[in-house]
């Protein structure tokens, strides 16, 4: 089965994991670091399973791969540590405003040992890197370098392909 989760689900899992790891406290998680860790979790999972874990696409932005919805959700945190997950907003015709918020529950991943094994290893490998070291890591990849002139000019909608994800740096030997 592929595309099990949304990018927000996986981003929330990363935030939850970083803030709830009791045996070994983990480093700071900024919105920029979250994007890069999300990218490497997605790429590592694809390499290991040959399946995409999310439907959402990464775009090639100035500071590397970004999932736009995740960016807009957490951008107001600036360079601060992300302490809290974000609720999922879904349409709800019975609600006054036409939508409702559903709090993140990490239990959606309880039965998914394969995902947790990959995600936890990537998170623990990358969390103590500085955000701009992770940016540089993504900039060293052909998928970003190839489009650098267009990216620097502000060209929008440049997406990472499945092949780009398969060719991403192997960050933790998965």
Instruction: For 67-105, write each residue's pLDDT tens digit.
Output: 999 999 999 999 999 999 999 888 888 888 888 888 999
pLDDT above 70: residue 173: yes
Q: Where are the domains of the chain?
A: 7-166
For residue 24, what pLDDT band results from cuts at 50, 70 and 90? low
What residues are paired with 5 via a beta bridge? 54
Tens of pLDDT, residue by residue over 51-64, are 999 989 999 999 99
**166 with 68: CB under 8 angstroms?**
no
Mean pLDDT of the 143-170 span = 96
Query: Coil, strand, or helix at residue 51?
Result: coil
pLDDT for res 22: 67
Q: Considering only CA atoms, which of 15, 35, 156 is closest in space to residue 87?
A: 15
pLDDT above 50: residue 147: yes
**159 with 53: CB under 8 angstroms?**
no
pTM: 0.93
% of the chain at pLDDT higher than 70: 96
- Angle formed by the axes of helices 113-126 and 7-20, to 10°? 60
pLDDT above 80: residue 2: no
Give the chain's mean pLDDT: 93
DSSP codes of every residue in 27-50: ----HHHHHHHHHHHHHHHHHHHS
Compute the radius of gyration of the chain from its Cα atoms.
16
């Amino acid at each position: 089965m592929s595309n099990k989760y949304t990018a927000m689900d996986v981003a929330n899992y990363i935030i939850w994991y970083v803030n709830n790891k009791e045996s070994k406290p983990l480093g700071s998680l900024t919105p920029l670091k979250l994007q890069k860790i999300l990218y490497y979790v997605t790429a590592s999972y694809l390499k290991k399973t040959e399946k995409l874990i999310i439907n959402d696409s990464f775009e090639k932005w100035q500071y590397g791969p970004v999932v736009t919805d995740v960016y807009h959700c957490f951008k107001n945190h600036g360079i601060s540590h992300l302490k809290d997950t974000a609720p999922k907003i879904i349409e709800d015709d019975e609600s006054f405003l036409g939508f409702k918020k559903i709090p993140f529950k990490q239990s959606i991943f309880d039965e998914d040992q394969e995902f947790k094994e990959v995600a936890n290893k990537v998170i623990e490998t990358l969390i103590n890197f500085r955000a701009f070291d992770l940016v540089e890591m993504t900039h060293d990849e052909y998928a970003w370098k190839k489009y650098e002139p267009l990216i620097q000019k502000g060209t929008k909608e440049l997406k990472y392909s499945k092949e780009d994800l398969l060719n991403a740096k192997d960050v933790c030997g998965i």
